[in-house]
Structure 1
């Protein structure tokens, strides 16, 4: 009986093919999950930056990093763990029975306050950078800002702000 069950098994190459297929499926699932968890494509994030988008994107890459670094180091801006805690608090508040609109409002107020502090820190850091420009640098910057504001499609790597 053991000999008959051995004959029913498929060739070894089928097992290898199935393993490779499973690996590729898992890789695709991982890419999709990473894409979703990251919040979509980078160009979609650009639209979420708000009013400061052309101001920041018109800066050369090293100055953008400087501005974002100053914001991250600002002690008044909520860090990633604080933002995650607020999202968890919102999920808990929305899941509560009976529903408590005041609990939801408290989380919204905390998130709004954090966003305001991040915006204020960003504006301060940006103004420090722009204040350091001479007249020619500021004129170049204005030109890049106008380009960013008129751009309709996705930003191409190596664009004017990266020069």
Structure 2
């Protein structure tokens, strides 16, 4: 009996080994690049949210416990019957594009679209604030202290990483 190997089988095994090696190397490079970005001292992670995040209610909502956040979301969805649907919002964007392309250009048409968006945002923000206040009002003093600590931590997190506008 000869001790020869099947060349087809060796070639297939080599392809699999090289493919697996490449996959492992790519995972390792991605992991190292992510770690380098995170610990480089630059604010890579802070680039996602801009100053508008702090103007919104996001830090307040994130400071709530998980179950309270979910309850607030359910409450807002339940009460959102008079808010525009996704189709209505798309139509509003389409009308903005139409106004931008129309000659002669009429800034009042765009102002009307912005006014519609602003009133919708104001309505949603008012409901969210009322719901948040209702949740926090029902908490114990210790629970409210926990919310305050999480809110303070969220708002001061970036200060540890360098200069920042107030």
Q: 1:150 to 1:137 in 2, by over 3 A?
A: same
* Aligned match for 1:69, one of 63, 67, 74: 74
TM-score, L = length of structure 1: 0.60
Name the counterpart of 1:56: 61
Aligned to 2:116: 110
TM-score normalised by the chain length of structure 2: 0.59
Tell me by how many angstroms 1:46 deviates: 7.5
CA drift of 1:81 comes to 2.6
In the alignment, structure 2 segments of 5+ residues that lack a partner are 1-44, 160-166
Gaps of 5+ in 1: 1-40, 154-163
1:87-118 CA-to-partner distances (Å, cap 9, x unmatched) read: 11111111111111111111111011111111
How many residue pairs get aligned? The number is 113
RMSD, matched Cα: 2.4
Q: How does 1:7-22 map to 2 (within 5 A)?
A: none
**Which residue number corresponds to residue 12 of structure 1?**
none
Counterparts of 2:132 and 2:108 in 1: how far apart (Å)? 36
